[in-house]
Structure 1
Amino acid sequence: MIRLYFVRHGETEWNKIGKFQGSADISLNNMGKIQADLTAEYIKKFKFDKIYSSPLKRAFETASKIAEKQNIGIIKDERLKEMNFGDWEGLSFDCIEAKWPGRLKEMYYSPDKVNIPNGETFLQVQMRTKKFLNNLLENEGDKNYLIVSHGVTLRTIFCNLLGIPLNKAWNLSQKNANISCIEYRDKNRSILNFLNYTDHLSKVKE
């Protein structure tokens, strides 16, 4: 059985002020660094065979805190990067709504259909994460893997593993520095152990 653990990166300034990040390479802010430390301390009880991370700073910085506690290296994988939000990157929700009325609502209610100017589609993100999973799950035997990534990217992975339609991706909550776990039995059976666990962050205000 392969046990997959997932961590979303800690907070950034753009998270805090409500800007779309996507492929923009934004570092953790002070709160994000604290969240990463708390996550690393909590998750050290799980021993990982490998740690995979998005190469974007906010994810890799989070993964690095965890890897230090595990005494293990990190494998960067481009397929774990956040969705490219194109012309929306760096913009606030209000600004996007003003320039593209109704498009944000479409993204949340019909993510499988929305087209973001000069950005990726949710389906394109799902396809690249599916390729990542296919490569990862070729390995046999009892393994524990950690994957550190981003909100949309992780949601597409969960949809892939759990057979959830892509148009329901936003039903899966993903807070900063949360932990999730899925047991992969075979291609027809994956079991969700827990999703969006954040009790380890109770010492800090979000």
Structure 2
Amino acid sequence: MTTRLYIARHGQSEWNLENKIQGIQDTNLTETGIRQAQLLAKRLKSEKIDCIYSSDLKRAHETAQIIAQEFGLEVKKIPELREMSFGVWEGLTAEEINKLYKEIYQLWRINPDKAVIEKAETLKEVQKRILIETYNIIEENRGKNILIVSHGTSIKALILGILGIDLSFYPKIRLDNTSLNIIDIKEDGKAVLVLLNDTCHLRSDV
């Protein structure tokens, strides 16, 4: 009995558009982000989604709600699925961070698992909390198709954790807005990556 995880990043947010680090700041979806979520909902319509979970931050929860409307499901809002807290970096652009915190920013770009950002979570802490919650969700929904809507950093940490890949590989994964990732959890607990950073649904809006 296989449990299938559909893991999606939220649609474009206001701060995505401005290239600002969001972290746990509660930014809204843009009109583009809403449209992206609608297209992802249509893409998922052909799948059998049994339950939907999302981060409690607005950009992820609204994305999940748009998808949930296609299935007549309720979204279960889970704080542990939220984005990494980036502390003093939140609200700053990458350029600003590079100027103000150059040494730690360069370390984050190369070895993020070793970076300690002021007033922020570490990547290991993020991975631990989202893995614990995701395994709880899997345990409650054995054999079902589960959709989780979360955030770029958290999802990358989650995927690496489930697959048993070291966090040092974090910079080697790209996740676009409303990208879809699929992981099958076999009956023996082994995880198989089926799909990564799929945004084919966005092409239908070109």
TM over 0.5: yes
Which structure 2 residues correspond to residues 29-178 of structure 1 after superposition, within 5 A? 29-139=30-140, 141-178=142-179
Q: What's the TM-score, normalizing by structure 2?
A: 0.95
Query: By how many angstroms is 1:164 displaced?
Result: 0.9
Q: TM-score, normalised by structure 1?
A: 0.95
Describe how 1:160-199 pairs up with structure 2 within 5 A: 160-186=161-187, 188-199=189-200
Hey, what's the Cα distance between the residues in 2 that align with 1:133 and 1:124? Answer: 14
- Give the 4+ runs in structure 1 shifted more than 3 A: none
Bigger helix share: 2
Aligned to 1:202, the other structure's residue is in SS state helix
Q: Name the CA distance, whole Å, in 2 between partners of 1:22 and 1:134.
A: 23
* 2:19 paired residue number: 18
Structure 2 unmatched runs, 5+: none
Identity of aligned residues (%): 38
| Deviates further, 67-76 or 107-116 | 107-116
Read off the aligned partner of 2:144 and give its amino acid letter: K
Shift of residue 108 of structure 1?
Answer: 2.0
Unpaired segments ≥5 residues, structure 1: none
The alpha-carbon deviation at position 159 of structure 1 amounts to 1.0
| Aligned equivalents of 2:142, 2:22: Cα separation in 1 | 37
Letter in 1 for 2:180: I
Counterpart-to-counterpart distance in 1, 2:116 and 2:73: 39
**Matched position secondary structure for 1:91:** coil
